Structure 1
């Protein structure tokens, strides 16, 4: 199948969750034998319009980051790619109706990926509304994001949840690193809210435990200072931003994973921890979908404060330690990729009937 991904900003431009997810899906599709072209802003050197990398062909729409020019040129580039299905990111918003216009000309369906809840102030703008209503299918990573997409005008029947994924085979085969009983993992930015985890640990200072905080970012220095102020820094190890393969042994050796971030369209690090057998304790946040992963997990729990987080950490000591949880096999890379492919094929088949 010929699939065109449309994303003005790729993982080669920025280290954002949505960009990493798009790159991973594109490369896994290419590894299965599909012909994948990413239509984007140029990130490679030289003046050539196309560049192949990791089995994926990248096609230039613009050389510079200019949303208006990108949207204007997009239909012409898509027409030259000749895809069977177009998969477009909702950034910029107007890229979706532009891709839809190109799809109509070539009689191919358009799938849009709605990555994140919209800003409260601009969520109902006409651009967001147009982006939500234009595609044949709107893919979202969680029910939390699905709600915001519907609020922006998406048809309920067009919205489909496709979660992020983990490598279950690598989790099963990985060694166990027992350096920490309790783990937090996320980029340490303004949404990390890691101080809630640290406050919970301070509540437990009279108990025996070791904790690891995996991640880096602008909030790291403040978090390290807070650990010192709470006098728990001798038992909290701050690690760098580790790749998934480096995280997994630590997660397999841990007992509890704490999720406190205020914003998460999908809590991938939590998913990885749960698949590694951790007990998940999630602090509920209005703009985070993390609670969706533990609501149906008998080993997990949902809290609303550092005090409750501390109590659930203590309660988790009565839960058996696991190093893998097969209940999360449906989130394996291959299983989730099958959902993308099935959606593409159904859309192509249905589109050909009209």
Structure 2
């Protein structure tokens, strides 16, 4: 299948914490790994004035420069003609309202379905959000929380779908657990929404038991949380490990028995998913603006709680479960399996079951500033 991805910013231009960009690029790589022809229409981050090429290959994906530097108006103006020329089997757009509307015009000219990946972080204050959502043939959300928000914007139920975040399950299998395992682990950005105090208060009630905990992550509230641990007289048993790379996080998750998730604002709890795949028992404090509880609903090795006291009880009860270092049931979230769900959505939106050979593209106009 020939897939055109409309994403104005890709790495390394995008913010390192932009999970929507990371998700769309991971999807592109996964589709390419399955043998599909994927082109990302983006700003040319590789521009070299002395030796310029309009495309760049990376991880099996073709990156096509629509402009050679960030230029929003030019980018949106050029997308329709580029898509009309390429005639992809499906157009996949990131959650940028103006880019979605430009992609809609191009997809219509190319007679291709438009699928919008609406990751849903941040308040949807842009007045173009509603129109952008409603013009898509399918809107894909990472969780039921975001899908509900999409439907509240006027997207019919039959056009709103869920495709979760993906993980590399082979990487989970390959990582060795840390030698000195913590009993409890939590991982989040340590800001005002982390709500780590719930975990610390729950752990403090277990002073008479033998346990250790590791907190992974960094942020502006780290010092405050470290002070709270000291005030609760548990700082000798809680290690603040900082912002660890993925491999080290997985080593901690595979060694730990319980993962606590308490953040107030989370459109998809990706660290919780990694931890569950590593065999952790999930303890999730319900938050109105978090989708984390969706990952433990109907799971035996998972608890949904509402208070620090319930976190305490869940940690104790989790001790009755056997210690695992992997949960094979979570292989359904592997990158390849999730890529298959995207293909199903493209086809449901109107992409062909068996893609025909694409025509030779016409010469592209030169990118502009």
TM-score by length of 1: 0.90
Give the gaps of 5 or more residues in structure 1: none
Secondary structure of the 1:349 match is coil
Distance in 2 between residues matched to 1:253 and 1:55, nearest whole Å? 34
Between the two structures, name the one with larger relative contact order (CA 8 Å, sep ≥ 6): 2
**Change in 2 beyond 3 A, CA 1:272/1:332:** same
Residues 1-354 of structure 1 aligned to structure 2 (within 5 Å): 1-12=1-12, 13-15=14-16, 16-47=18-49, 48=52, 49-91=54-96, 93-116=97-120, 119=123, 122=125, 126-177=127-178, 178-346=180-348, 347-349=350-352
1:64 is displaced (CA, Å) by 4.5
- Contact 1:141–1:163 (CA under 8 A) maintained in structure 2: yes
Greater displacement, 259-268 / 185-194: 185-194
1:88-123 CA-to-partner distances (Å, cap 9, x unmatched) read 0122x1221211111111111111001016627x3x
Distance in 1 between residues matched to 2:207 and 2:68, nearest whole Å? 54
1:287 is displaced (CA, Å) by 1.2
1:197 is displaced (CA, Å) by 1.7
Distance in 2 between residues matched to 1:191 and 1:277, nearest whole Å? 26
Secondary structure of the 2:304 match is strand
Count of residues in correspondence between the two structures = 348
TM-score by length of 2: 0.87
Give the gaps of 5 or more residues in structure 2: 356-369
Distance in 1 between residues matched to 2:82 and 2:264, nearest whole Å? 38
**Change in 2 beyond 3 A, CA 1:82/1:187:** farther
- Contact 2:85–2:110 (CA under 8 A) maintained in structure 1: no
1:20 is displaced (CA, Å) by 1.5
1:167-194 CA-to-partner distances (Å, cap 9, x unmatched) read 2233234322242110111233343222
Which structure would you say has the larger Rg? 2
**Change in 2 beyond 3 A, CA 1:268/1:231:** same
Greater displacement, 145-154 / 320-329: 320-329
Distance in 2 between residues matched to 1:85 and 1:330, nearest whole Å? 24
Distance in 2 between residues matched to 1:62 and 1:160, nearest whole Å? 31
**Change in 2 beyond 3 A, CA 1:45/1:197:** farther
Distance in 1 between residues matched to 2:10 and 2:199, nearest whole Å? 32
